[in-house]
Amino acid sequence: MKMTGARILLECLKQEGVDTVFGYPGGTVINLYDELFSFKDIRHILPRHEQAGVHAADGYARATGRVGVAIATSGPGATNTITGIATAYMDSIPLVVITGQVPTALIGNDAFQEVDIIGITRPCTKHNFLIKDVKEIATIIKKAFYIARTGRPGPVLVDLPKDVQIATTEFSYPDTIELRSYKPTVEGHPKQVEKAVSMLLSAKKPVIYVGGGVILGDAAGELQALAKMLNVPVTTTLMGLGAFPEDDPLALRLLGMHGTYFANMAVTNCDLLVAVGARFDDRVTGKIATFAPHAKIIHVDVDPTSIRKNVRVDLPIVGEVKDVLAKMLKVAEGQSANVSESRKNVEPWLAEISGWKEKHPITYKQTSSTIKPQFVIQKLRELSEPDAIIATDVGQHQMWTAQFFTFTKPRTLLSSGGLGTMGFGLPAAMGAQAAYPGRQVIAICGDGGFQMNMQELATLVQNRLPVKICILNNNFLGMVRQWQELFFEKRYSQTCMELPIDFIKLAEAFGAKGFQATKPDEVETTIKKAFETPGPVIMEFKIAREEKVLPMVPAGASLNEMVLNA
């Protein structure tokens, strides 16, 4: 049967199992939206800004592990998606973003709402396509999803001119796709795996350093089994939080700039560092020259470019982390005598780490007069459901969440790690809630980040997405203020957001509910009220204004040069 390009696109999405798309109509996708009007197999959510639409698709992808889909029109619609795309690119999130384009005959003519989105998104997508012929739609969409979700995942943009949407052809969706130029290495080399296990078994002070790759690769189970079998402590990056339960005795929790004292000391003193699905970001390593100075480094990653990009590596293993970790487990299982010997040998190391944990736990000073943000985060953990999904913006609240929430399950923290995108939290939470209507989804925001995408309150209300929004309000762009305080003699240049916004009225204006807490003893009741109230709710906490995120490794310093109190 002949179909229009617009219809074919929707059929392709259906074939890929897409149940929800986040999109914004416009002139060059109006034909697509006309088809969507009667296409009942896909739920469409209309955000209030295309950036938020892409973040929502991203949140959907992070929470579910499936490919998120966003649609935008050409020109400004397309350019509004860039921040969302770049955010997903930096964190390796699988997305397919479809943009409308002016008719092929007008491309290059500076037509109304024309922009070279292929050119613009080239550096921030895993790949992108311009579809020039209706006959190409099915194979290109197949390729787009395949590229987005395989190897190191990432966003793929498909630009679809208006006339291609109108043209008709026979539709058939390919079952498989073969790309001669794209063959990611899936399986880890068995010899390298064996070497890795023997290095682990003979190490006296091993540490496993886990990144988002373990979550993206659904390898948390294998990781936990391996760490527990060999008695090896595990530290995670921001993107890796949830891959290893933070309440486990082997958990070193977050490392790096705002990592725990014991994680940073363990990395500085270890004799073997096993990096799994992590990329040695500068926020993690601090000064490269003094990062893990006594350690041999094993690096497991599906992306060969990550290996030796920032640090020297003694043993590289390219492959999907799930495959490599499963193989490592198997090899270790076959050497039970060595394993029990090795477990004994690391005991002094674990004792040393326990000492650090006792000396400098992650903590803060409670007061009775002002609300400490860390206290709010701890209370949120205490009162929320065990499988609650947390989305954050970027800044102090993000780091307090990372330090104090205690994540125990993968895909429960959605945060912009690589790009550090303010305004990410609310729309990402929206995407996760659309995927899991029955789960508790909480957006933790600062007052700055919240204001970057607060229009999405309307989308939440319209689509009955009961996201609970926690605003830690200090009327500051807190993280920048913290840097100004520590490194710029408290010259608070443009970081004060003094305007007293009434977030409660704002919630009401959008048809949501809002509650405020100004004193510590109101925190618990405010959270309970918010959780009990149906629909989207803002809970605003007026927090201590000059509270800092500590410990902190100043930019460019070594991990063991932490500022513990300031």
Partner 1 sequence: MRHTITVLVENEFGVLSRVAGLFSGRGFNIDSLSVAPTNDESISRMTIVTRGDEQILEQISKQLNKLIDVIKVIDFTGGEAIEREMALIKVTAEESSRAEVLRIADIFRGKIIDVTPKSYTIEVTGAPAKIEAILELLRPLGLKELVRTGPVAIGRGSKGWKG
Residues taking part in catalysis: 50, 112-113, 162, 479
**The binder of partner 1 chosen from 1, 17, 180, 498 (CB under 8 A):** 180
CB of 130 to partner 1, least distance (A): 8
Stretch that binds partner 1, among 302-310, 324-332, 375-383, 464-472 (CB under 8 A): 302-310
Residues 6+ apart with CB under 8 A from 396: 373, 446, 472, 474, 478, 479, 482, 547, 548, 549
DSSP letter at 115? Answer: -
Count of other CB atoms within 10 angstroms of residue 495:
18
CB of 122 to partner 1, least distance (A): 5
β-partners of residue 300 are 276, 317
- CB closer to partner 1, 133 vs 387: 133
- CB closer to partner 1, 185 vs 408: 185
- CB closer to partner 1, 140 vs 469: 140
Is the backbone peptide bond immediately before 153 cis, with ω within 30 degrees of 0?
A: no
Residues 6+ apart with CB under 8 A from 319: 185, 186, 187, 188, 189, 300, 302
CB of 313 to partner 1, least distance (A): 11
Site pattern 63..102 for partner 1 (x: CB under 8 A): ----------------------------------------
**The binder of partner 1 chosen from 43, 308, 519, 545 (CB under 8 A):** 308
DSSP 179-242: -TT-----SPPHHHHHHHHHHHHH-SSEEEEE-HHHHHTT-HHHHHHHHHHHT--EEE-TTTTT
Stretch that binds partner 1, among 180-188, 241-249, 377-385, 412-420 (CB under 8 A): 180-188
**The binder of partner 1 chosen from 304, 420, 535, 554 (CB under 8 A):** 304
Of 152, 149, 101, the residue nearest 129 (C-alpha)? 101
Confirm if 321 and 276 have CB atoms less than 8 A apart.
yes
182 binds partner 1 (CB under 8 A): yes
CB of 317 to partner 1, least distance (A): 15
Could you give the CA distance from residue 22 to residue 9 in angstroms, rounded to a whole number?
15
Q: For the sheet containing 127-130, what is the strand order?
A: 43-45, 20-23, 68-72, 95-101, 155-161, 127-130
**The binder of partner 1 chosen from 246, 303, 447, 540 (CB under 8 A):** 303
Torsion angles phi and psi, residue 142, rounded to 5: -60, -45
Size of the site for partner 1 (CB under 8 A): 17
CB of 136 to partner 1, least distance (A): 12
Residues from 105 through 164 that contact partner 1 (CB under 8 A):
118-119, 122-123, 126-127, 130, 147
- CB closer to partner 1, 179 vs 509: 179
Could you give the CA distance from residue 361 to residue 134 in angstroms, rounded to a whole number?
60
Residues from 312 through 341 that contact partner 1 (CB under 8 A):
none
CB of 96 to partner 1, least distance (A): 14
Dihedral sign, CA of 35, 38, 39, 43?
positive
- CB closer to partner 1, 309 vs 344: 309
Could you give the CA distance from residue 447 to residue 470 in angstroms, rounded to a whole number?
10
CB of 126 to partner 1, least distance (A): 7
Could you give the CA distance from residue 374 to residue 472 in angstroms, rounded to a whole number?
10
- CB closer to partner 1, 222 vs 303: 303
Binding site for partner 1 (CB under 8 A): 118-119, 122-123, 126-127, 130, 147, 179-182, 303-305, 308-309
